Amino acid sequence: MKKINLGILGGGQLGSMLCMAAKKLDIDTIVWSDDPTSPAKEFSNEFIFSDYKDNEKFNHFTKKADKITFEFENIPFDILDKLNSIKEVLPKPQINKIVQNRILEKDFVNNQNIKTTEYKKICNKDDLISNAHLLPAMLKTATLGYDGKGQFKLNNLEDCKNINLSKNTNYILEKMVYLKKEISVIITRFKKYEYEIYEPIENKHEDQILKFSKIPANISKEHFSQSIEYAKKISEKLDYIGTLCVEFFIDDKGDLLVNEIAPRVHNSGHMTINSHNISQFENHIRAVCGLEKVKIFKLYNAEMTNILGKEIIKFKEKKLKDNEFFFDYLKKEIKEKRKMGHFTEINKIND
């Protein structure tokens, strides 16, 4: 049988880990990225560097790839849609249109009768001031933000007056949630009502960037089952194929709110490489390539720490114990707060 060649848009660490999982399944990968220093270059069978608008590269990519997926959600919808007209893109590009816009995303979640924090679309200073009842709040660009980029904390009217809003940019103002906890649920949907779901993961962020994740999450049974039900409902409604992550807030009243949906493999699920029989990456590939769904099970409890910026230097020298795993993303340049690698510790499950 001919080997499957999976096209992956984007070449960051998520792309690298997808390529590694593909190799395990004897699937070839062709990565297309607009960054010549992409880490995934080292792990893919073929690497294309160009702007995503390059027609020649587009033709080459669509000719070589049997199926196409992506590792980051900020790829313009038009490009995904055009690719999809030639070779199937999974998850479907229409999903991205909703999820890459924080306003449409929250509208969608609320339409499923799932709560989010209160929010308003903001186009200018006047909008901001007339929605001051939401303060303290987070102002975020409606599109293109990640890892805290494009986010501003606004505590009072003075902050609203002082902030510089870019012209022609839509923002969302989100009422600040008093966080008791953050959790995420990673689900891989294969087809209608067919999923593999990882147990909820407990997350800690620093400066809006994920720092630490662990399983099991220290949460109530209700939050455990409710978050899984919500993730199922969301993936079903989106007719999603592949791995998806739903990020949740648990507020000071104990309410479970959806923070955001990531239509891709997710940083909080990196531990699944070591904690489960099948990782979130392998499951994504299995689902988008139409391979068999295998029941997942947990081998170990796990804790994952993100390695940011210069922290990578000491990890490179760290002596690892048998239950410790260090992943170096092989990024060429160390930048402050940049995700450079991650560290996972696994531990026996004590029932």
Q: Which of ligand ADP, Mg ion, none interacts with 117 (beta carbon under 5 to 8 A by kind)?
A: ligand ADP
**Binding status of residue 216 toward ligand ADP by CB under 6 A:** no
DSSP letter, residue 40: G
Site string for ligand ADP, 135-174 (x = CB under 6 A): ---x------xxxx-------------------------x
Q: Contact 67/6 with Cβ under 8 angstroms?
A: yes
Site for ligand ADP in 283-342 (CB under 6 A): none
In whole angstroms, the minimum distance from the beta carbon of 205 to Mg ion comes to 8
* Distance of alpha carbon 245 from alpha carbon 42, whole angstroms: 26
**Binding status of residue 60 toward ligand ADP by CB under 6 A:** no
Q: Which of Mg ion, ligand ADP, none interacts with 216 (beta carbon under 5 to 8 A by kind)?
A: none
* Distance of alpha carbon 337 from alpha carbon 217, whole angstroms: 25
Query: How far is CA 290 from its chain centroid?
Result: 21
Q: What SS3 state is found at 128?
A: helix
Q: Which is nearer to ligand ADP, 137 or 346 (CB)?
A: 137
Site for Mg ion in 235-274 (CB under 5 A): 247
Give strand ranges (E) for 225-334.
242-251, 256-262, 301-308, 324-328
In whole angstroms, the minimum distance from the beta carbon of 207 to ligand ADP comes to 8
Quick one: tokens of 201?
Answer: 């993961």
Query: How far is CA 211 from its chain centroid?
Result: 14
Q: Contact 287/265 with Cβ under 8 angstroms?
A: no
**Binding status of residue 260 toward ligand ADP by CB under 6 A:** yes
| Residues lying near ligand ADP in the complex (CB under 6 A) | 117, 138, 145-148, 174, 176-177, 179, 182, 205, 208, 247, 259-260
| Residues lying near Mg ion in the complex (CB under 5 A) | 247
